[in-house]
Amino acid sequence: MSMQNAASRFSLDLPAPLPAWQLGLLLAVYLIVGTTGHLPWRGDDLTYLGPIHAILTRDAWLVPELAGETLRDFPPLYYWVGALLAKALGGLLPVHDAARLASSLFTAAFLYWIGVAARRLYGPAAFAPAILLGVSSLGLVVHAHETQPALAQLAGMALCYAGLGLLSERPLAGGLQAGLGAGLAFLAGGVPALVLTLPVMLLAPLLCRDCRSRAVIGGIAAGCAIALLIPAAWFTAVAIQQPGEAARWWASDVATILPHAEHLDNFGRLLQLLGWFAWPLWPIAGWAIWRNRHGLTTPALALPIVACLLAVGLVTTTGPLRPASALPVLPAFCLLATLGTSTLRRGAANAFDWFSVVAFTFFAILVWLGWSALSFSWPPGLARQLARIAPNFASHDIGLTAAIGALISIALLVLPQLTRRTPWRGATNWALGMTLLWCLAVALWQPWFAHTKNYQPVAGELRKVLAGQTEGCIARHGVADTQRAALDYFAGIQTVDGKSARASECSLVLSYAIGGNTRKLNEPAELIWERRLGGGRKAEVFRLYRRD
């Protein structure tokens, strides 16, 4: 069965869930709100701003750097786009805000190409629902608004799957598009991205009897050549500029795809992560597979199933157990959930729709309760807990914030009632609810995030302290990538790994610890500066020592 016939088999004559202008407006609000207007948050938002800052200040375009040292987490595609945006918008936005728009750009590309893939696999009516289901996923919303290179990998994966959907109709164009997507996914995510795309490309002719023609096989061969040429070109350039770095990068990247059993030892946490991260996509994807269990070899179903199994297998057996690592599961789940949503029975579709309204109303109430605890110390138990985390936080502009939050809450209650009554209504209301809930959280909680996730005061204070010290290198102990990025970006301070040979030459030592883990150095040293952030078990402690 060809891809085109498979699409006609699955496609239904359904109306569009939203007019084009409403879909565009929803996406614009989702992508822009919360992306700009705040300093970099600790965590990935700060860490992956570091290589962009290195490009802008030290011309480190080819090999990503963080505070003067190579960072091998991701190849440079995302950083290139972030740096170009920072240069283009430098007079209008701060560097961190302009660079973070790369996340909006790549998220938009991911949503568009996953919509195109769904349209080619399941028919024209599937384009908008696939986009809405992508917006609906709980795992995407925070990462779509932070500096996150994995978003560029999602865009490349979606482009690859869209190209595979074109194979039977235009084999060469489909193969080249799939290969370009796989190559760009590598430039964004490294070898793991090739593991998630190349096997699907190679299996495509086997999954489609009419795709075994010479033209289709030639298209796949051309696509695989493109997919391998892009990594080869980048590795060659790295080897020329920095001899030995290409081999080190390759070894580091291959190590990330080697299976381990650590996640299986924490099987409960793994299931919990995948369960909420891909919600509400995975239950509907499961229904799509069950509903079409007699046609699992159909290309329109087999390709996303293979992609889904690869992504879940990679997340389950490799890499760290953290939310950002689960992002690669979203493209395939979006495709399967699009098919599943179109075939939900009336009762299940109504339950899906009803649950979205109830869930987002409940979470909106929680957001308001948290804001009330911050602003009015009610409820008192929650207020005390928040005060322990950030004892010096004070609310500002309470009246204006409350008014904006009230308008968003009214929209959250009213707009879902006005959506069209179609089989896609549940997907529409999930996307609408996710967008408005995010807007509400940004409106009410952004000052809190700015206070608790901001390292700018620490970096500025440390710079003043260092101004009175003899110049020299600073060894670090316990300072992670996000703190290193903050010190470099806000204050131009770079440190030396405390375990390196050069560290013994440094007269100053900077240590970092969380909570009760605040032991002092195991060597004679004078404490000359200390700064604490937050309170309780999450308290962060920075200390600067001078060695005797």
Q: Are 61 and 55 in contact (CB under 8 A)?
A: yes
Q: Would strands 474-477 and 508-514 be described as parallel, antiparallel, or unpaired?
A: parallel
Q: Would strands 540-547 and 525-533 be described as parallel, antiparallel, or unpaired?
A: antiparallel
Residues 170-205: tens digit of each pLDDT: 999 999 999 999 999 999 999 999 999 999 999 888
Residues 440-463: tens digit of each pLDDT: 999 999 999 888 889 999 999 999
Amino acid at 132: L
Domains, the chain, with CATH or none: 3-13+31-342 (no CATH), 350-452 (no CATH), 456-547 (3.40.190)
The DSSP letter of residue 14 is -
134 vs 138, 142, 160, 168, 301, CA distance in Å? 9, 13, 17, 26, 18
State the pTM of this model.
Answer: 0.95
pLDDT bin (cut points 50, 70, 90) of residue 360 is very high
Three-state SS across 308-370? HHHHHHHHHHCCCCCHHHHHHHHHHHHHHHHHHHHCCCHHHHHHHHHHHHHHHHHHHHHHHHH
- Rounded CA separation 165/299 (Å): 9
Proportion of the chain above pLDDT 70, given as a percent: 95
Q: What is the mean pLDDT of residues 419-443?
A: 92
The better pLDDT of the pair 150, 294 is held by: 150
- Rounded CA separation 187/268 (Å): 33
- DSSP for 205-259 reads HHH-GGG-SHHHHHHHHHHHHHHHHHHHHHHHHHHHHSTTHHHHHHHHHHHTTS-
Among residues 27, 323, 301, the alpha carbon closest in space to that of 161 is found at 301
pLDDT at position 176: 96
Q: What is the mean pLDDT of residues 397-413?
A: 95
pLDDT bin (cut points 50, 70, 90) of residue 418 is confident
Burial grade of 306 (CB within 10 A; 0-12, 13-18, 19 or more): middle
Three-state SS across 505-518? HCCEEEEEEECCCC
Q: Are 219 and 346 in contact (CB under 8 A)?
A: no
95-122 and 330-342 helices cross at what angle (nearest 10)? 40
Q: Are 103 and 147 in contact (CB under 8 A)?
A: yes
Among residues 5, 7, 3, 2, the alpha carbon closest in space to that of 339 is found at 7
- Rounded CA separation 159/388 (Å): 46
pLDDT bin (cut points 50, 70, 90) of residue 361 is very high
Tell me the Ramachandran region of residue 519: left when phi exceeds 0, alpha when psi lies from -120 to 50, beta otherwise.
Answer: beta
pLDDT at position 67: 94
Listed in sequence order, the residues at least 6 apart from 357 whose beta carbon sits closer than 8 Å to its beta carbon are: 416, 429, 433
239 token code pair: 């080897």
Res 14 pLDDT > 70: no
Res 1 pLDDT > 50: no
Question: Bridge partners of 49?
Answer: none
Q: What is the mean pLDDT of residues 530-535?
A: 87
- Rounded CA separation 374/450 (Å): 14
Listed in sequence order, the residues at least 6 apart from 407 whose beta carbon sits closer than 8 Å to its beta carbon are: none
Q: What is the mean pLDDT of residues 388-410?
A: 91
- Rounded CA separation 212/218 (Å): 10
The better pLDDT of the pair 110, 267 is held by: 110
Q: What is the mean pLDDT of residues 517-525?
A: 70
Q: Which of 204-208, 213-217, 220-224, 511-515 has the highest mean pLDDT?
A: 220-224
358 token code pair: 């109830």
Q: What is the mean pLDDT of residues 7-23?
A: 71
Q: Which of 68-82, 290-304, 375-389 has the highest mean pLDDT?
A: 68-82
- Rounded CA separation 495/500 (Å): 11
Tell me the Ramachandran region of residue 509: left when phi exceeds 0, alpha when psi lies from -120 to 50, beta otherwise.
Answer: beta
Burial grade of 178 (CB within 10 A; 0-12, 13-18, 19 or more): buried
Proportion of the chain above pLDDT 90, given as a percent: 72
